[in-house]
Homo-oligomer: A and B are copies of this chain.
């Protein structure tokens, strides 16, 4: 039930479904022009955009979308397990496609830049800790906040992007 005969404007711009769009269809989501748009923006993103940023990028491609829809879609995608909501501090939720694989983040406290990393050793350790406490690990969150290596000891950290409100 995917191929209709009258392609929408978005289809014309990008006839081949984006990576995320394919996932949406797999999960049985009704694909509207707006959803296709967001799926495409998410597929092309290499960072961790917040809703405002997603909206900004989407509007550029097709103005017929509102922030409310971005909020609703992003929530839907989260429920379907297609994206994960992240909180790097800053008050806004940020989104991370799950098909990029399991990873953690290191946030540069001076620039706010976010690096992704994996660490099998940590995964083992996390499981071990949970087990030690009598639990089975069902999820976790590891975020490192760092400053570029040559850390000339500052009296107090200049600008921090650490956990905030």
Among candidates B85, B117, B138, B157, residue contacting A138 with C-beta atoms closer than 8 Å: B157
Q: Which residue of B lies closest to A165 (CB)?
A: B93
Q: Which of A80-126 contact B (CB under 8 A)?
A: 85-87, 93, 106, 108-109, 115, 117, 119, 121-122, 125-126
Q: A130–B106 contact, CB under 8 A?
A: yes
Query: Could you say which interface size class chain A belongs to?
Result: 35 or more
Chain B residue numbers with a CB within 8 Å of A93 are 165
Among candidates B115, B126, B146, residue contacting A137 with C-beta atoms closer than 8 Å: B146
Beyond contacts A122-B122, A138-B147, A140-B142: 11 other A-B pairs, Cβ-Cβ < 8 A, are A106-B130, A106-B133, A109-B138, A119-B129, A126-B142, A134-B148, A135-B147, A135-B148, A136-B148, A137-B144, A141-B163
